[in-house]
Amino acid sequence: MTSRTAAATARATVYGYPRQGRNRELKKAVEGYWKGRVDADTLRATAAELRRSNWQELAGAGLTEVPTGDFSFYDHVLDTSVMLGAIPERHRAAVDADRLDGYFAMARGTQDVAPLEMTKWFDTNYHYLVPELGPSTVFTADSTRQVAELEEALALGLTARPVLVGPVTYLLLSKPAPGVAADFDPLTLLDRLLPVYAEVLADLRAAGAGWVQLDEPALVQDRSPAELNAAERAYRDLGALTDRPQLLVASYFDRLGEALPVLAKAPVEGLALDFTGAGALNLDALAAVGGLPGKRLVAGVVNGRNIWINDLEKSLATLGTLLGLADRVDVAASCSLLHVPLDAGLERDIDPQVLRWLAFAKQKTAEIVTLAKGLALGTDTIAAELAANRADLASRAHSALTHDPAVRDRAAAVSEGDARRSQSYAERAVAQRAHLGLPRLPTTTIGSFPQTGELRTARADLRAGRIDTAGYEERIRSEIREVVSFQEKTGIDVLVHGEPERNDMVQYFAEQLSGYLATRHGWVQSYGTRYVRPPVLAGDISRPEPMTVRWTSYAQSLSDRPVKGMLTGPVTMLAWSFVRDDQPLADTARQVALALRDEVDDLEAQGTSVIQVDEPALRETLPLRAADHPAYLAWATQAFRLSTSGVRPDTQIHTHMCYAEFGDIVQAIDDLDADVISLEAARSHMQVARELAAHGYPREAGPGVYDIHSPRVPSAKEAAALLRKGLEAIPAERLWVNPDCGLKTRGWPETRASLENLVAAARTVRAELGSSAS
């Protein structure tokens, strides 16, 4: 096929779309089901209507092929485990008794059965449920849901393409099941798994699928020869099947690297590649392997992870180059649009000119359609769109919002010494122990306490003018009094104020920093029914006035025990925002760090002796390729230290991280030079404690003993057992006792019971250690 013919046949498509609905209908329906207010039939009907609405919106926008199978009640990786029959033994009875309740039990756990472990989906802020596999795992195909959703779309008269997690990525994301040797490699199950995929593919073909997309994002990471060989075998075998649809193997989030020639030679009909960010390197790599003669290329030229408008002319140039490298070139986003909000057109509080810089899922879909039209019919057919796009890009480039000389001058003057504490950790530890007077195994929480309905109502009443600021602030003070009183009565050693005034750990600060924009409808899924509204980091960052000092000081006035100041660190402020893409991330991080440094200094000046600067996103933002790690970790750890290094030696700096694999960044954790770190560890059975010990981590640490992402209440016995496991790796004088994460999403009854058990566990283990502390 000539490049002209390839252009004429260009289609527009996406790999996935936001699941939640315009008004987060899915969240409300699922949580209603959990609480018994919504029955299973109503929940399923709500889901079907959301799928129908999404497909019709995409088709109406001009997509010629819509995805199916991207929708999920909780998580698409969990859906894959169900499709493959990979149900953990402890959950099998529940799944057999009621498939929907059993599904949610795997995600959330029950009082008696622990859920699957949850961790970050590559370098995004989406969380998936980790499959548990072992030598005895038996895979069985169950394509019921995948076939049903395909049939729903076909019944609407649409061309539909089922999207599945590919077999290699599924195994590479899995972990050994409990009781299985830690060195078990799930990839050894590939030959057992492929016939099950073959059965699912045959079912989808019989249901009317012309194409099926198999997502293999794990192949953009550094892969061993054995792993690349597994990918070659997987797609050799699947490609050789006779009873199957055409196969589109998709990768995203980075360049394919060594896996590109493997997939290019595979007997499949198409590849989908990311051509944004680091994925832009796929262009030269594709040319180097001779392109994809006789195959379909789906070109991800619209960034599916940020919310900035596309440079249409630049993307058209990329697409033009690709025309000579494949039999057919289609246009798509770089990845599923799950990672961006639904519709920028819903925003009413953002300046109209600035709003023109933003593209959410609906706007990105329109960009994809425009690019496909321009590619197929010529740029004259999209001349008006190109002119408007040029004007909007120029407006952003020359805006005063994106250039503040005072901020830039201060950042340029930072020296390496500004990012170093005045004394070593060993010296600081002596001063802090004398100043704080804490017992062995000190107890604390991560920061937030339950955000009750009353708090959310008070916040809504303030926005609506039903109460004034004084009334709202009295409600906040009342909540802080309750939180502090509960912690004192329970026996927690280092208190928090509970963060009742905060809507979100990033948005709260973003709303008080110059250079950030807030949205009203910019919801994206973090996990399950947890949705967040990432703020938009649009310009240069500064702090006009203190952000947290008043509420922290008020909480401290209520107790003689230390109350932690609670801040969100610079890397997380970037990672959990839609961050500007017009300057290096390191420059933006330095601006945020300086704003936070001012806040840290003000907290200390007002008498706060323990200050926690959370960096849960440090690991998730780690580039997917090892060659890119050093540069990222250098600026990320420096930004944290810049935020925290202006304090006295006896002021204790904490940090917190959760729900990621930490083994490969232990040195970076060490380089943060925080006095205390708390980490998620309950679901992974203290794995991170062992990783810290193996590294020789010299500071204090609190591996979590309470999994806050499950409604179950851990017993004191269970928490004590985890604490003893932690002591096998970390000595008692450096071990803290805390939950995995903040308690914002939990209810008060389970929070009270769980923290009471946590304190009881600490007292039990202290007694076993022969400590006189109580």
DSSP letters, 94-147, are: HHHH-HHHHHHHHHH--SSS----EEE-TTSS-EEEPPEE-TT-------HHHH
Q: What pLDDT score does 659 carry?
A: 62
User: What is the rounded average pLDDT for all residues in the chain?
Assistant: 95
Sorted by sequence, the CB contacts under 8 Å of residue 727 that are 6+ apart come out as 735, 765
Residue 51 has pLDDT above 50, yes or no: yes
pLDDT digits (tens, 9 = 90+) for 570-604: 999 999 999 999 999 999 999 999 999 999 999 99
Q: What pLDDT score does 469 carry?
A: 93
12 pairs with which residues across the strands?
A: 331
Residue 248 has pLDDT above 60, yes or no: yes
Q: What pLDDT score does 504 carry?
A: 85
Residue 43 to residue 39: CA distance in whole angstroms: 6
Residue 33 has pLDDT above 70, yes or no: yes
> What are the C-alpha distances in Å from 357 to residues 311, 521, 558, 644?
11, 16, 46, 34
* 709 labelled catalytic: yes
- Nearest alpha carbon to residue 685 among 648, 646, 718, 647: 718
How confident is residue 459, by pLDDT bands cut at 50, 70 and 90? confident
Give me the percent of the chain exceeding a pLDDT of 90: 90
pLDDT digits (tens, 9 = 90+) for 719-741: 999 999 999 999 999 999 999 99
Q: What pLDDT score does 662 carry?
A: 78
Give me the percent of the chain exceeding a pLDDT of 70: 98
Residue 509 has pLDDT above 50, yes or no: yes
pLDDT digits (tens, 9 = 90+) for 374-399: 999 999 999 999 999 999 999 999 99
Q: What pLDDT score does 772 carry?
A: 41
Residue 613 to residue 655: CA distance in whole angstroms: 5
Q: What pLDDT score does 660 carry?
A: 64
Q: Report the predicted TM-score, pTM, of the whole model to 2 decimal places.
A: 0.88
Residue 502 has pLDDT above 60, yes or no: yes
Q: What pLDDT score does 5 carry?
A: 52
Which of 91, 521, 656, 709 is catalytic? The answer is: 709
Residue 286 has pLDDT above 80, yes or no: yes
Residue 63 has pLDDT above 70, yes or no: yes
Supply angle C-alpha 130, 136, 141, rounded to 5.
65
Contact 686, 703 (CB under 8 A): yes
Residue 582 to residue 211: CA distance in whole angstroms: 37
